Chains A and B, each alone.
Chain A
Amino acid sequence: MNGLEAIAFYNGWKISATGICIVFTALCTLSFIISQLHKGLSIWEKREEYIKKAGKLFSRPKKTVLHRKIKVSESFNESARQFHVLTQSMKDPFSLPKLIMLAKKIDLGRPHSTVNDLLSARLIVPDGKGLYYWDNDVYTTILEKE
């Protein structure tokens, strides 16, 4: 058995067809990779930008803190500390008149104007339903300024 007959007998045609397919597929894949290489390179060059974007997609949106110019004095900080402790003893959101009443009970000086100052400094923030909460972000900012 010689020639074409032998090739057919030992599956030569099938083997060569498979080989051609493998080579052709590999060449196609390689050419596709080369054609898209410029995109990959530009992504690599801008990798930090993309990492930031991806990070934003998966991270929780941070609460934006309005950094207002707040006049803070020693006595204000002290009052803020005292009222912070008081608000912590109350259920959140808390009632503003109850906070003033509590401050009066424990003899904190000038509770009404202090509450007004805390409202102006946005340490005490209305929840829109008549109750209030303590803004810890603003409080931290004030403490950091000390």
Chain B
Amino acid sequence: MHIDFQNIQEINLFKDLSSEELDKVLPIIHPAKIFEGERLIWEGDTPQMFYIIISGNYMVYFKDGRAFTLHNKGAMLGWSTVAGPFTYHESVVALTDGEVLTIHVEEFLHLMQEDSGLGSKITKKVTEIVRLRKAFVKGALTTNVNR
């Protein structure tokens, strides 16, 4: 899969970035093919990657049996890589074949530290996603989590 500016700018997380900032982000983004039934994230593991959905359908689930599904391009998986307490809060499995963008957490945090402007823009977006997901984790899902 080819990644370019246009592909990346369509993703909610990177929508507000300038072309210079996107130049910095592009090298740390790696596309990956995902197969049906493949487990991307295990709840309780130390996060090393987070994922952005390009295509496919994914189920995010918790130890208590609750789950929600994500189907939209740009939805983020593994947000706990960038928000404390830095362990995966959920497990994620692919329901169908698909494609994701993988971002290594160390590279991502390094980039955020290097460029504070870029960091604050991304943090703002991540906070939005985390707020929605945390509401779900606490059992108070009232809003759409497909973001």
Contacts and interface: CB of A to CB of B under 8 A. Distances in A.
Contacts of A119: 57, 69, 95
A116 B141 contact: no
A110 B97 CA distance: 12
B66 A131 contact: yes
A53 interface: no
B95 A97 contact: no
Interface in A89-146: 95-98, 100, 110-113, 115-116, 119, 126, 128-132
Interface centre among A96, A115, A130 (most CB of B within 10 A): A130
Contact of B65 (A98, A110, A115, A128): A98
Interface size class of A (residues with CB under 8 A): 10 to 19
A113 B67 contact: no
A114 B91 CA distance: 19
Interface in A63-89: none
Interface residues of A: mostly helix, strand, loop or mixed? helix
Given A96-B61, A96-B67, A112-B37, A130 B95 contact: no
Interface residues of B, number: 21
B65 A129 contact: no
Interface residues of B: mostly helix, strand, loop or mixed? loop
A112 B96 CA distance: 7
B36 A128 contact: no
Interface string B41-62: 0000000000000000101011
B94 interface: yes
B108 interface: no
Interface of A: 95-98, 100, 110-113, 115-116, 119, 126, 128-132
5 contacts: A97-B91, A115-B95, A116-B96, A129-B66, A130-B68
